[in-house]
Amino acid sequence: MAMDYAKCAKEIFETLGGRSNLVSAAHCATRLRLVTVDNSKIDMKKLENIDGVKGVFSNNGQLQLIIGTGTVNKVYDEFLSVSGMTAATKEEVKAAAAAKQPVFKRMIKALGDVFVPILPAIVASGLMMGLVEALGKAIPAFAGSDWYGILDLMANTAFTFLPVLIAVSAARVFGGNIFLGAVIGMIMIHPNLVNAWSVGGMEASQIPVWHLFGFPIRQVGYQGHVIPVVIAVWLMCKIEKWLHQHVPEMIDLFVTPLCTVLATAFLTLGIIGPVFSTAETYVLEFAGWIVTVGHGIGAMIMGALYPLTVVCGIHHMYNVIEAGMLSAEGA
C-alpha cells in the first residue's frame, strides 16, 4: 500500500505542537530536519510511531526524523503545505538550531567553525616541518643546503602567519569583512613589534613601550597566540556592523573601515592582546601539564574527557588548544 504523504506530514505537524512550536524546517537525502521552540512539549514516542517515520533523534539543537530516500522530499512538501512554513536550507536550520544552544556551546561551536577550515594548512605545514627536520638530522649535509632553507621556509609559513589565517577565518564566521580581519591579524604580528618568541629572553625594561594618553602599550607581537586573535576579530566584526548601521551610506565606504581598524587595533594592542595572551598561556601550560602526567594518568584523563566533550558537542575546543600548542613552539 502506497504511503500517504499528506497524512504523515499532518501527523508530524500535530505531534510537534503546531506552528507555534516550530522555528524552521529543511530536509536532506533521508531526514526531515526541524528546529522547534521546545522539544519537551513533543511526545517523542508518538512521533516515532507515525507511519512513515523510521526513527527520531535530536542532534545539535535539531530534531531529525528519518523518513527515507525518495520519500522525505514528498513528506517535506506536504509538511510545508500543512504548516504554512517556507522552505529553509540545511545551513539556515543549523543556524536556527545553533541560536537555541547555550552560550558556552555556541562559543565552542564558533571556535570550531574558525579552526576547522584552516586545519589543512596546519596539517600540511606540520607534516612538511617534520619531514624537513627529519631529513636535516638524518643527513647533516642537507641541513646546511639551499634545499633545506627553502623547504623550511615553506614549512613554517603557516605557523609564522597563523594569526592572519585565524583572523580571516574568524571574520568569515563572525560576519565581518575578511580583508579587515586580515589587517587586524597582520597588525598583531607586524615586524615593527618585538617578536613574541623573542620576548621571553628579554628583561621587562628592554621591551619598548608606547605611552598614549597616559596608557602604556607594549610593542610586542602575538606570534604563537590564538585566542587573542579570535577575540580581536570578533570585536572588530561587532564594531563594523554597528558602524554600518549608524554611518550615513554616503561616507560609509570610507568611515567604517577606517574607524573599525583603528578602534580594534588600539583595543587589541592595549587590552585584548595582553589580557588574553596571558590567559591563553596559562591554559596551554595546564593542557601541557595534563598530557605529561606520568604513569598514563594524563592520557587517561584526556581519554575520559574526550567522549564527554564529543557528546556535549564541545570537542572543537581541542582544535584551539592544539593550534595554540603547535604555534607556541615557534617556527
C-beta of residue 94 within 8 angstroms of C-beta of residue 60 = yes
Of 319, 318, 310, 313, the residue nearest 97 (C-alpha):
313
| Structural domain includes residue 105 | no
Q: Are residues 35 and 130 in the same domain?
A: no
DSSP 58: E
Q: Are residues 49 and 176 in the same domain?
A: no
Q: Are residues 89 and 218 in the same domain?
A: no
What's residue 327's pLDDT?
A: 55
| Structural domain includes residue 108 | no
Q: Which residues are catalytic?
A: 28
Q: Are residues 96 and 172 in the same domain?
A: no
Query: pLDDT digit of tens for each residue in the chain (331 aa)?
Result: 568 889 999 999 999 888 888 888 888 888 888 888 888 888 888 988 999 999 888 876 788 899 988 888 899 999 999 888 887 665 666 666 566 666 666 777 777 788 888 888 888 888 898 899 899 888 888 888 999 999 999 988 888 888 999 999 999 989 999 999 999 999 999 999 988 777 766 777 788 889 888 888 889 888 877 888 999 999 999 999 999 999 998 999 999 999 999 999 999 999 998 887 777 666 666 666 666 666 667 667 666 665 545 444 444 455 555 555 555 554 4
Domain count, the chain: 2
| Structural domain includes residue 46 | yes
Angle subtended by helix axes 317-328 and 297-312, to nearest 10: 140
Domain end call among 70, 100, 130: 100
Domain end call among 100, 125, 149: 100
Instruction: List the Cα angle 47/22/57 in 5-degree steps.
Output: 40
Q: Are residues 40 and 185 in the same domain?
A: no
Q: Are residues 237 and 136 in the same domain?
A: yes
State the pTM of this model: 0.65
Contacts of 309 (CB under 8 A, 6+ apart): 315, 317, 318
What's residue 198's pLDDT?
A: 78
Q: Are residues 38 and 144 in the same domain?
A: no
Q: Are residues 228 and 256 in the same domain?
A: yes
Domain residue limits at 64 = 5-100
Contacts of 194 (CB under 8 A, 6+ apart): 202, 207, 208, 219, 220, 221
Q: Are residues 322 and 243 in the same domain?
A: yes
Q: Are residues 216 and 152 in the same domain?
A: yes
Q: Are residues 55 and 151 in the same domain?
A: no
CATH number of the CATH domain containing 65: 3.30.1360.60
Burial of 234 per CB tally in 10 Å (0-12, 13-18, 19+): buried
Angle subtended by helix axes 317-328 and 273-292, to nearest 10: 90
Q: Are residues 185 and 82 in the same domain?
A: no
C-beta of residue 31 within 8 angstroms of C-beta of residue 104 = no
